[in-house]
Structure 1
């Protein structure tokens, strides 16, 4: 299953890694970056030469204090969609699932707020990757 779709050649692309994090109660963890209004899946931009898995483990530790082993991440898909906070840009997100037995986390770095939400009724404004792709997969039962 691939969410990659052709895009106009004049749209700049931002490459990121993202985690579809679920807790023991079926809720999913979303974050809102400082100065923004939309909630999104945790993750970020890989550093030059960094693998997608390594980048996601680093981002989860920096942003949420989650220490995640590479083997805890399960490759889901690569998705192309509209970028949430960069008008006129597309996002190419390398997505992984992560199931946490312990839902404790601590928002840090550029994260203003982190919230566990019901994927069927998130009750927050969502970024396109979350609203159009990742949360619907959870609702359908991945």
Structure 2
């Protein structure tokens, strides 16, 4: 591994028990909404901002439940490892909308996971929290 990419990511779950995943522009795989911190941002501030920017879901910082820190091979940066501070966000009655950096978003049920191309961090660590 030649580098580490630090991110914050959210496992967003709706009232029907579906998990939201996004596919960033130019990427082949889906992942949880999230991204890299701006200078001076905490992991929580990062995830609140990134979820709003990528999905249009504006949630209060108090709505995010910390899940821990996870490491995995990065999906979009060759020879890098991603280290993610992950959070759970339960939402009701929201319309998620893709933004400029998001090519596609999907709401997944647990049975959809095995047939959906997911980033290693999502598949191996985060998506399971949607149904835990």
| Counterpart Cα distance in 1 of 2:2 and 2:32 | 22
Choose between structure 1 and 2: higher strand proportion: 2
Deviation of 1:36 after TM superposition, in Å, equals 1.0
* TM-score between both structures, scaled by the size of structure 2: 0.93
| Counterpart Cα distance in 2 of 1:138 and 1:68 | 17
| Counterpart Cα distance in 2 of 1:136 and 1:69 | 23
- The structure whose Rg is larger is 1
Could you list the structure 1 runs, at least 4 aligned residues long, displaced by more than 2 angstroms after superposition.
119-123, 136-139
In the alignment, structure 1 residue 100 sits paired with structure 2 residue 96: no
Backbone CA RMSD of aligned residues: 1.2
| Counterpart Cα distance in 2 of 1:114 and 1:137 | 18
| Counterpart Cα distance in 1 of 2:26 and 2:38 | 23
**Paired residue for 2:123?**
131
Please state whether the residue corresponding to 2:95 is helix, strand or coil.
Answer: coil
> Is the contact made by 1:73 and 1:97 (CA closer than 8 Å) also made in structure 2?
yes
Tell me, which stretches of 5 or more residues in structure 2 are unaligned? Answer: none
Tell me, which stretches of 5 or more residues in structure 1 are unaligned? Answer: 1-9
* TM-score between both structures, scaled by the size of structure 1: 0.87
Choose between structure 1 and 2: higher helix proportion: 2
